[in-house]
Amino acid sequence: MSERDLARLLAGLSPAMEDGEFAFCSVPHGSSSDFDRLQPRGTFGEAEGLTLVLPAERARAAALPFDGVFRLITLGVQSSLAAVGLTAAVAGALAGEGISANVVAAFHHDHVFVPAADANRALDILKALSAGVDDDAPARYRERFGEMPDRSLVDNGVLRQLMTRRSHRRFRPEPIDPSLLYSLFAAAFSAPSKSDLQQASVVRVTDRDRLRRIAALDDKVRWIADAPAFMVWCGDNRRIRRLAAHRDHPFANDHLDAFMNAAVDAGIAMQSFIVAAESVGLGCCPVSEVRDHIDALDRELSLPDHVFPVAGLCVGWPAEAGHVSMRLPLSVTVHENAYDDGELVERVTAYDRRREAARPTPAHAQRDVARFGVSDDYGWSEHRTRQYARPMRTDFGAYVRRKKFDLS
């Protein structure tokens, strides 16, 4: 009997790869008999023509054009055509590793066509999905936090993507397809929003002259001029105020919370964009330094009252792999029932040592040596507390008030 339960489907996935490579070809309607001799593995009629799925060598022999070659992984579990979630789980696990999946549902089984170059990796991913165990998960955790987890880890494609994410500041020159960007914005603005107020907006900077002017505001951000895509995510409290006026209702929440809600909405939307972008292989880097010259940025973007920049974001196809930035351990950031930082210094000191052991900071890269000297005990906490020993963005509060926010 065909199985419908997703847990049992995944447990019994039994993926197996067939020999040979396959091609997807299209031929005119009414010509299928001309190609019966090719013994296609499958056919599907579309408005534009008849799709043939057949061994790649037969397609070449028949001089049929095709784009890419694929290997076929058959899922041994007998899945019901009414089952919910199997295709999403399989495609999601592969997408998390940047592998496309063309899933064909037949009466007894599901069949997954994957790019030939990724086939062996895809098979391993599906086997791990079935087993519910990923032997690399503890290693990824250690790379991220510098220590082994103290309990077992749940793993899937999304968790793996987030655990291994890295920021990218160097990009290949090729552009991003506009349809892809449109899809990423759609995903970003599907994010949660405080009370459904939807107080986030984004300004895409497509004018390269304008982008060069923004990049020239500060030496620290000159690199953004080379990004294939640059945008500024904004908190937008203007929209709800305009609608309140249109509806002839008072706006009775003109205080600090109005600013905070809009800022948080923008941050959530930007992070959702980043997750979506990285799921298709793009690299991203948020850029808060654009706020170092807030008035000039405001003028470049023509931001009206009650709209303010939260962060810039560079997006493109990565030119290099980058590295995973080690994070503070969960014992520092996750609190149970009540906030407790009683062991903060001890835990951060241990974290500093782990991080420096993994990626040592050379003396010339230490921050503000003229003021603080070269430290033999340098680490994340020394680096960041030196950073905050100097005033930064002291004009931001005044700027926000000029945008007509009441911060009381």
Distance separating alpha carbons of residues 238 and 257, to the nearest angstrom: 14
Specify if 158 maps to a domain: no
pLDDT at 54: 94
Specify if 162 maps to a domain: no
Q: Give the tens place of pLDDT for each residue, 323-354.
A: 999 999 999 999 999 999 999 999 999 999 99
Number of H helices, E strands in the chain: 16, 11
Examine the domain organization and report whether 292 and 207 are in the same domain: yes
For the domain that residue 221 is a member of, what is the CATH number? 3.40.109.10
pLDDT at 132: 62
Please say which residue of 114, 131, 148 terminates a domain. Answer: 131
Contact 225, 211 (CB under 8 A): yes
Distance separating alpha carbons of residues 243 and 363, to the nearest angstrom: 55
The number of distinct structural domains making up the chain is: 2
Fill in the DSSP letter of residue 221: G
Examine the domain organization and report whether 126 and 182 are in the same domain: no
For the domain that residue 32 is a member of, what is the CATH number? 3.30.2130.10
Distance separating alpha carbons of residues 394 and 400, to the nearest angstrom: 11
Specify if 137 maps to a domain: no
Cross-strand pairs, 114 = 71
Specify if 168 maps to a domain: no
Examine the domain organization and report whether 230 and 310 are in the same domain: yes
Q: Give the tens place of pLDDT for each residue, 119-169.
A: 999 999 999 888 764 457 888 999 999 999 988 777 778 888 999 999 999
Instruction: Give me the domain span that covers residue 299.
Output: 178-322+393-402
Examine the domain organization and report whether 60 and 200 are in the same domain: no
Six token digits for residue 216: 């020239």
Q: b vs e for 17-46, b when ≥16 Cβ sit within 10 Å of the residue's Cβ?
A: beeebbbbbebeeeeeeebeebebbeeeee
At residue 325, φ and ψ (nearest 5 deg) are -85, 125
Examine the domain organization and report whether 95 and 219 are in the same domain: no
Examine the domain organization and report whether 214 and 295 are in the same domain: yes
pLDDT at 35: 75
Query: Which regions of the chain are under pLDDT 70?
Result: 1, 32-33, 132-135
Distance separating alpha carbons of residues 122 and 94, to the nearest angstrom: 6
Specify if 192 maps to a domain: yes
Examine the domain organization and report whether 92 and 215 are in the same domain: no
Phi-psi region of 83 (alpha: psi -120 to 50; beta: other; left: phi over 0): beta
Fill in the DSSP letter of residue 85: S
Q: Which of 230, 236, 176, 184 is nearest to 208 (CA)?
A: 230
Using DSSP's 3-state secondary structure scheme, residue 70 falls into: strand
pLDDT at 32: 65
Specify if 159 maps to a domain: no
Six token digits for residue 388: 């905050």
Distance separating alpha carbons of residues 124 and 78, to the nearest angstrom: 20
List C-alpha distances in Å: 265 to 54, 106, 155, 200: 49, 43, 28, 5
Examine the domain organization and report whether 90 and 237 are in the same domain: no
Distance separating alpha carbons of residues 215 and 209, to the nearest angstrom: 10
Examine the domain organization and report whether 62 and 201 are in the same domain: no
Examine the domain organization and report whether 250 and 305 are in the same domain: yes
Contact 379, 352 (CB under 8 A): yes
Please say which residue of 131, 160, 192 terminates a domain. Answer: 131
Examine the domain organization and report whether 62 and 211 are in the same domain: no
pLDDT at 133: 46
Examine the domain organization and report whether 196 and 311 are in the same domain: yes
Specify if 382 maps to a domain: no
Specify if 361 maps to a domain: no
